[in-house]
């Protein structure tokens, strides 16, 4: 039973969130002016800009193109107030690595969600590097107090596959006294490694270990940000589940450390193809063509998880519409994202009539049940909100969100894009 809508057309999605953050941070530490095109003007990346402006970096926005006038590796100035990261885990974790090596003391804080997210994962390795970093409330969460120090290189093995942890340590490693290495259980997104190389740092990877040499200087460059595959994922899903749909999503980043959603959709029998594959500024990019498909269940586990970690909420929606039992394992990290995404996906899908159970590290979804509308509890999590908005396109009764504005964290214009396709 459906709304009698079908989605047809060609869209672009906003710039990649991970790449946008990094371009501002690395540009701030470089000598010269970094030009960033297709920068994501979402709340999270605007928080990164605000923090670096507070540290004396001149950052201008010319009709959507961002210019970062870097001050060099040692050019940041002590901020007068607390650095406020809003909802952004990437900002607080990556910036902490940089702040660990500056010659000033500062505090870093964020919203209620950030204050609940685990910071021990960066406090521990950065402290091993001789950083002076502590949780002000002594709970290993924000607010953090950081006093820069002379850092020593470490060879660190992380329990979690996390690009935020890896990048935080690599950024501190730029200032260390030797080669710093980070080993992960599975490889996480490698945008820092690719972009730091473009800025002139010496970074390399062996198996699941990233290594960095200390640098004396980074050099400004131009960053052309591809469309965010995590944002494209909502429209990939919409095209697949809404009968009669056919969507072309242009200029999407398909870096192999981020493309798990494409592999999963293929495994579920989805009609998806990559067109015009190319490389832009070191990142793989393609146009994605997706057509309505009858999906079937799959199992998602192991090393693919970090490559689709932010897409699991929308994958759970796909699984609810697919035939058979989909199992998602090895994804306990979902509990410490902007919300507990296991609980929220399970509770909200149950409220819509789905057959789904939470497990310790994922969920099991018996797909194909008839779903109905409900009011969705988002906990102000952008990805929960967008996932259920897409589910609502394929249901007769209304899916209401308890908050719509939270989508602006990563996807300003999300609802307008949906409207444009109807
Ligand atoms: C990100 C890494 C991931 C991801 C987040 C962005 C990044 O987090 O979930 O949205 O830009 O490095 P983790 O490193 O915690 O897995």
344-355 mean pLDDT:
98
CA of 245 to the centre of ligand 1 (A): 31
384-401 mean pLDDT:
97
What is the C-alpha to C-alpha distance for residues 216 and 194, in angstroms, rounded to an integer?
Answer: 18
Q: What is the reported pLDDT for 301?
A: 98
Testing ligand 1's pocket by substitution, the residue of 89, 158, 261 carrying the most ligand atoms inside 8 A of its CB is 89
Residue identified by tokens 């008839």 is 370
Which neighbouring-strand residues pair with 271? Answer: 291
Q: What is the reported pLDDT for 173?
A: 98
Q: What is the reported pLDDT for 57?
A: 98
84-92 mean pLDDT:
98
**26 Cβ neighbours under 8 A, 6+ residues apart:** 34, 195, 196, 199, 218
Testing ligand 1's pocket by substitution, the residue of 20, 233, 309 carrying the most ligand atoms inside 8 A of its CB is 309
CA of 89 to the centre of ligand 1 (A): 7
Determine if ligand 1 sits within 6 Å of the CB of residue 48.
no
Determine if ligand 1 sits within 6 Å of the CB of residue 19.
no
Q: What is the reported pLDDT for 24?
A: 98
24-41 mean pLDDT:
98
78-94 mean pLDDT:
98
Of the candidates 16, 259, 287, 310, the residue annotated as catalytic is 310
Please name the helix (run of DSSP H) or strand (run of DSSP E) that holds residue 389, with its range, or none. Answer: helix 382-392
pLDDT over threshold 60, residue 323: yes
Instruction: Give the closest residue to 274 by CA, choosing from 294, 251, 292, 293.
Output: 251
User: 251-280 pLDDT, tens per residue?
Assistant: 999 999 999 999 999 999 999 999 999 999
Atom 10 of ligand 1, nearest CA residue: 310
Determine if ligand 1 sits within 6 Å of the CB of residue 18.
yes
Query: Could you confirm whether 310 is annotated as catalytic?
Result: yes
Q: What is the reported pLDDT for 1?
A: 43
Residue identified by tokens 């473009």 is 198
More confident residue, 81 or 282: 81
User: What Cα–Cα distance (Å) separates residue 328 from each residue in 196, 270, 318?
Assistant: 33, 18, 12
Q: What is the reported pLDDT for 3?
A: 60
Determine if ligand 1 sits within 6 Å of the CB of residue 255.
no
pLDDT over threshold 70, residue 330: yes
140-146 mean pLDDT:
98
Q: What is the reported pLDDT for 373?
A: 97
pLDDT over threshold 80, residue 374: yes
Q: What is the reported pLDDT for 5?
A: 81
| Averaged pLDDT score across all residues of the chain | 97
Question: DSSP letters of 347-377?
Answer: HHHHHTT-EEEEETTEEEEEE-PPP---EE-
Q: What is the reported pLDDT for 55?
A: 98
Q: What is the reported pLDDT for 4?
A: 67
Q: Could you count the other beta carbons within 10 Å of the beta carbon of residue 51?
A: 27
Determine if ligand 1 sits within 6 Å of the CB of residue 232.
no
């Amino acid at each position: 039973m459906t709304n009698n809508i079908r989605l047809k057309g060609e869209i672009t999605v906003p710039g990649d969130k991970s790449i946008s953050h990094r371009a501002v941070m690395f540009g701030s530490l470089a000598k010269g002016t970094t030009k960033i095109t297709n920068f994501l003007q979402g709340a999270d990346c605007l928080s990164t800009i605000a923090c670096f402006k507070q540290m004396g970096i001149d950052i201008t926005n010319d009709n959507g193109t961002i210019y970062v006038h870097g001050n060099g590796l040692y050019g940041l100035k002590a901020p007068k107030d607390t650095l406020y990261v809003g909802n952004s885990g990437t900002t607080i974790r990556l910036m902490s690595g940089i702040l660990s090596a500056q010659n000033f003391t500062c505090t870093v804080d964020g919203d209620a969600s950030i204050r609940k997210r685990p910071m021990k994962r960066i406090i521990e390795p950065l402290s091993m590097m001789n950083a002076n970093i502590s949780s002000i409330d002594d709970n290993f969460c924000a607010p953090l107090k950081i006093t820069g120090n002379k850092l020593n290189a470490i060879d660190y093995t992380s329990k979690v596959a996390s690009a935020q942890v890896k990048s935080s340590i690599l950024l501190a490693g730029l200032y260390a006294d030797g080669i710093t290495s980070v080993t992960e259980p599975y490889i996480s997104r490698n945008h820092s490694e690719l972009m730091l190389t473009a800025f002139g740092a010496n970074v390399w990877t062996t198996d699941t270990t990233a290594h960095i040499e200390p640098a004396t200087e980074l050099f400004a460059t131009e960053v052309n940000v591809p469309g965010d595959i995590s944002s494209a994922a909502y429209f990939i899903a919409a095209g697949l589940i809404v009968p009669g749909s056919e969507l072309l999503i242009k200029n999407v980043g398909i870096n192999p450390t981020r493309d798990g959603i494409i592999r999963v959709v293929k495994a579920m029998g989805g009609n998806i193809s990559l067109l015009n594959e190319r490389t832009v500024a070191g990142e793989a990019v393609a146009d994605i063509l997706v057509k309505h498909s009858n999906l079937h269940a799959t199992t998602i586990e192991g090393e693919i998880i970090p490559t689709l970690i932010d897409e699991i909420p929308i994958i759970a929606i796909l699984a609810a519409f697919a035939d058979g039992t989909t199992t998602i394992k090895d994804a306990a990290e979902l509990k410490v994202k902007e919300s507990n995404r296991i609980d929220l996906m399970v509770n909200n899908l149950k409220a819509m009539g789905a057959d789904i159970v939470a497990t310790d590290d994922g969920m099991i979804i018996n797909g194909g049940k008839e779903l109905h509308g409900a009011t969705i509890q988002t906990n102000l999590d952008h990805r929960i909100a967008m996932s259920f908005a897409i589910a609502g396109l394929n249901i007769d009764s209304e899916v209401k969100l308890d908050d719509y504005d939270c989508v602006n964290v990563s996807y300003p214009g999300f609802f307008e894009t949906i409207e444009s396709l109807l």
